[in-house]
Structure formats: structure tokens, C-alpha cells
Chain A
Amino acid sequence: MNAYMAYKVSTQTTLAMFRNKTFTVRRRFSDFLGLYEKLSEKHGPNGFIVPPPPEKSILGMTKVKVGKDDSSAADFVERRRGALERYLQRVVNHPSLLQDPDVREFLEREELPRAVSTQALSGAGFLKMINKATDAVSKMTIKMNESDVWFEEKLQEVESADQHFRKLHTLVESLVIHRKELSLNTASFAKSAAMLGSAEDNTALSRALSQLAEVEDKMEQLHQDQAANDTFSFAELIADFIRLLGAVRGSFDQRMKAWQRWQDAQAMLQKKRETEAKLLWANKPDKLQLAKEEIAEWEAKVTQYERDFERVSATVRKEVIRFELIKYWEAFLPEAKAIA
């Protein structure tokens, strides 16, 4: 049984680069992951904050595939749809990413070739990847002589925000559990109150107690279930934001990598120069020629990598500023919609 869920992606645009003004395509979850992979490979190293995709949830999806006919399966699909929409919005709102032909293809093309090797991108996997990279890079941090204080400050902010939101997420998850418990306990109490009402031999009081039980049962349960759902959505938004912060950290890490490449190239150049000096002294003309060529090669590399570093730094800076402005609204809109 190879059933899968396809999501309808509809675009309305006035941009010239698209063939039509409105169009719709069907995409599966792995297509979204595939898009992320391509964008991350191409733009990540340049310091762009590539929006992370929603998490894979094996349990949730299995329920849907098995055709489990309760509200939890429908809820899951709806949540995933919302998360995928938020993801795409972030991608297309990014002026540079929008220009990427892969994005255009994703939105426009009728049939998309199946994305491969998207297994690695479960939610936990994604975070693990970021964490590994961060660990490797943090070892370099000690050596990096941060000339630009701005980056250091911003990274601090990101890390402290990350910590804070993780704590918040735990609290909200705890709330979800307690609300679900409350819903169950309220239902149980309502039944008990009904029993008490039927035992009461004063008819007026008996009726009143039965009515109390009924009211408790209907309203409270409805209210609590709804509240549990709302809280769950809130928890998801926070998780979403945490992933986004992870992507921001990722871009800082890319800048570090660029810096490291530059430093390594400088070190290599130094070694080549030392080799040249030794060869000069030993008087080996043919080897000397090779050495001179290598020096030229590495000098070019050093220049290139320095320029790369400058470019990546500038991109990261622009991206972070853009990020700060954007997340204001987008984090807000879902909550606003939910309330309305």
C-alpha cells in the first residue's frame, strides 16, 4: 500500500518570471523536504538563513495512512498543512530564495521528480545536524578573533532566545497534558454528579444536580478539548520558532566555516612559502618552479576565501536584520487568526 497525502499548492502572482498568473500543483511532504535540501545545499554556505521544513512525525502520519477515522488524524493533517504553508511563505518571502529556479519549479511544474535521500530530515535529525555543526564550529570559536562585535552580540541573542524558547516549549507541553487530563477528569466528575443527582430524594435538588452534571459535561469538555488544541498549536508555533532559530545559528556557523577556510588557506600559503625558502637554499630549480606555482595558487585561494568570508558576513548580517523584522508579523498572524 503506497498511499500518500498530496497537498494542493496554489499560487497567485504578478511576477513576470512565472508562466501564468494563477496556478496550482500537488506536492507531497517529501517534495517539500527535497526543496529544503536543494536550497540548503546551494545557499546555506553563503550565509543565507534557509527556512527549515516542518518535522516528520511517524506516528501522526501512520495514523492517517492506516485510515484511522478519528479527529486526531484529521487534526494532524490540518496541522501539517499549516506548517507547510508557513514554510513556503518564508521561502517565497525571501527575496534571494525566490529567484532560485528550484523554487519556481516547485511552485509551477506539473510533475516533480521524486526527491531522494530525504530520510535524514526528520525534525530530530534536523536539530541533531545543526547541533553537530555547532559543536564542531564552537571548537573553532575560541581561536576566532572576532573583529566585528556585532556578530558576537547577535549570536549571543540567538542563543539566549533559543534557550528561553526551549524552556517555554516544555512548559507549554506540560500545559497540553494537564488540559487533556482536566478534560477527562471533568467528564468523569460530570458522570459522578449525575449519579449523585439520581440518589438525591429531594426532587428539586435532584433535578438541579442532574442539570449541573449535564452542563459540566457538555460545556466544560468542549471548552477543555478546544483549549487543549489551542495550546497544542501554540506549542507547535514555539517549536517552529525554535527550528527557525536553529537555521539562524546555522548561518552563523557557515560564516565561521568560511572564516576557517580562509585561515586554513593562509596557513597553507605560509607552509608553501616556507617550502619555497627551503628549496631556494637547497638550490633545486625544477622543484622551485612547482613551489612558485603552488604559492601563486594559494595566494589566489587566500584572496578568494577572504572575499568569500566578507561576502558571507555581509549576507549573514543582512539576513539577521531581515529575520528580526519578519518574524514579528508571521509569528503573530497565526495566533491572531486562531483567536479570530
Chain B
Amino acid sequence: LASPPRAVNVDLQTDATLQVDISDALSERDKVKFTVHTKSTLPNFKQNEFSVVRQHEEFIWLHDSFVENEDYAGYIIPPAPPRPDFDASREKLQKLGEGEGSMTKEEFTKMKQELEAEYLAIFKKTVAMHEVFLCRVAAHPVLRKDLNFHVFLEYNQDLSVRGKNKKEKLEDFFKNVVKSADGVLVAGVKDVDDFFEHEKTFLLEYHNRVKDASAKSDKMIRSHKSAADDINRIASSLYTLGTQDSTDLCKYESLLKLLTFLCFKIEARVAADEDLKLADLLKYYLRESQAAKDLLYRRSRALVDYENANKALDKARAKNRDVLQAETSQQLCCHKFEKISESAKQELIDFKTRRVAAFRKNLVELAELELKHAKGNLQLLQSCLGVLKGNT
């Protein structure tokens, strides 16, 4: 597979000291193998340029190691890439294989081509998603120094990271339940700092609206795809009609086919492009805004801990018992809270900048694409008119 296009969702500065990309990918039966390629001038690595093969589970392992690392509590952890999902596409291909007998050779070849193109599009997308994750980590001033990250990039053996088993998945589930309950409690705590208070309100609302917009755009695109599929089937049906040489009865189909085929075919392409630009953008920022929310949660959690430590210290001083312990504990909490607050502020400002830049880039590209298609559509309709007028 040729090198996929660089991720379009994130505006990143390419830095000579550490450049990461996915140079190749291979799709096997039930897994995808990504070739992670690194170019670096950093002394930590043995060579200046090297590649390893990684699977999806290893990306997840890396992401989770960031989340679980207390030192990174003050950063927006780049969201993990979604699992490669070819199930739907594979199912369609299988159904096509089963229904081979019921359609003409032409129809079958055409549908097969369509499905293969769809499979390829999904494949390219999953590669892009995984690449974006790595690039975000590489661009982050602190995360790029992480030891696990370096191991991920360099260690040319299998990391022996297995996917979570049932017990671990259940643990995760409960952890999330606790977190959301806790989050509700913590969200109630009013923040003295205006900046964070504003961010909290903003992020909550923004996240919900992105979620809604993402869901609706998915729905819209699915309808578009269904319509495009119908059009493809109609076009191939007309094509078959038109090419049956025996029947005088259906000769006019060749003209009708031209009409339908050309005018409607545009729809399929538009659907695919919209999918790429709009929906992916929304989905990505859904995940990022969630990561930002998680950061705010961690900070609020630290704030609550700090306030509790203060209360404990007051109590200890009043009772004059375990004062030193309480003081140490309070200092730790204070330090942790301040550290998180400081980095969180910067992270959130960066998030905003990134978000605005990404949206702007994508919206511009989307508008240009739609314009191009509209012009193409207009041209085709005009030439169709010409053909019709010439004939009558």
C-alpha cells in the first residue's frame, strides 16, 4: 500500500528532532499491521531512522500508559485511535459473493469494485487515525520524551501486549462508572479561577454539541451512501438493458442510461468526500474534547483532594496530632494541584488553537470540494442537454 496521505485533522509542525509516520500497512484476516517509521536526531535512539511493526493493541497500550501515569495528569492525553473495523465491509463482500449467481457478470464486477473501494477507504482512514495519534504524541513537548513511547517506536520485537481480557474490561467499566459519578460530584465544585470555570462550562456544552453534530452527520452520510448505492445499481441495471443487443425493444435505454448514469453518479463521490472531511473532523474533536474534559476532571479531583488535605491539616492542628503528616500531605496535594493547573491552562489554550486551525482547514477544503462537484455536475447536465437537443 502506497504511503497514505498525512492526517488532515491536526495542524502539526514538523520537527526535525522527531518525526513519526506510518509508512505502510497490511490488512490480514482479523488484524492490521502498521509499519511505524521514525526519523530522529535525538540521542536516545540507537539510529537516526528506523521502522517497527505494530498492531492496534500496542497503540492502546501506549495510550493507556499515558492515562495511568500520574505525571501526565496535567496534560490532554491524545485520544486513542479507534479499533480498525472492517466487519461491515467484510459482511457486504461476503453477501456479494453469495449473491453472485443472481446477477449478471457486469453487475457483479461493478459491485465488487465498489465494495473494494469502500474497503480501501476504511483502511486508509484507520491508518490516518493511528498516525495522527503518534504525531500528536511526537509533537507534545513532554509526552514525546516518554520512555514507553520510545520503546514503542524502537523495540523491534513484539511488545507482547495482549488485549484486555474480560476481567480487565470489567474493571475498566467500573472505573468509568466511578469516574462519572465522581465527575458529577466534582463538577459541582465551583472554581475560584475564572479561566477554568469558563473552560469547564464551555467544554461541557461544546462536547455535547459536537457529539450531536457528529451523530447527525453520520446519519446524513449514511442516507447519502444508501442513495448512492441505489444509483449505482440502477445505473448498472440500465447498462445491462442497453447492451442487450437482441432487443429492439430496449434500444432507447442507451440514451436514458447516459442521462441517469452521468447525472446521478456525482452523488456517490460527493458522499465519500463529505464523509472524509466533515464526519471525521467531528468525530476526532469529539474524542479530543472528551480528553480535555478528562483533564479538567483530573484537575478538579486534585482541587478536591487539596481542599480535603487543608481541612485535615486544620483538624490535625486543632487536635495537635499527626500535624507533620498532615502538613506533608497538604503540601503534596497543593503542589500536585498547582502543577496540573499550570500545564492544564496551556494545554487548553493549545487545544483551542489546534481546534480552530483544524476546523478552518477542513471547512475550506470541504467548501472547495463542493464547489468543484457543483461545477462538474453543471457541466455534465449541460452536455446532456446538448446531446438531447441534438437528437430531437
Contacts and interface: CB of A to CB of B under 8 A. Distances in A.
Interface stretch (B71-79, B118-126, B137-145, B204-212): B204-212
A339 interface: yes
A339 B384 CA distance: 9
Interface residues of B, number: 46
Contacts of A339: 259, 381, 384-385, 388
Given A178-B230, A195-B209, A202-B352, A164 B216 contact: no
A332 B252 contact: yes
A332 B255 contact: yes
Interface in A180-214: 181-182, 185-186, 188-189, 191-193, 195-196, 199-202, 204-205, 208-209, 212
A333 B381 CA distance: 16
8 contacts: A164-B250, A171-B230, A172-B234, A182-B223, A189-B220, A196-B212, A199-B202, A201-B352
Give chain B's interface secondary structure class.
Answer: helix
Interface string B23-37: 000000000000000
A284 interface: no
Interface stretch (B128-136, B158-166, B241-249): B241-249
B379 to A, nearest CB: 14
B212 A192 contact: yes
Interface of B: 202, 205-206, 209-210, 212-213, 216-217, 219-220, 222-224, 226-227, 230-231, 233-234, 237-238, 240-241, 246-252, 255-256, 259-260, 352, 355-356, 359-360, 363, 381, 384-385, 388, 392
Interface in A257-294: none
Interface of A: 157-158, 160-161, 164, 167-168, 171-172, 174-175, 178-179, 181-182, 185-186, 188-189, 191-193, 195-196, 199-202, 204-205, 208-209, 212, 234, 324, 327-329, 331-333, 335-336, 339-340
Given A164-B241, A171-B233, A188-B216, A182 B252 contact: no
A179 to B, nearest CB: 5
B359 to A, nearest CB: 6
A193 to B, nearest CB: 6
B227 A179 contact: yes
A323 B360 CA distance: 59
B234 A168 contact: yes
A157 B230 contact: no
Given A167-B237, A189-B216, A340-B385, A208 B363 contact: yes
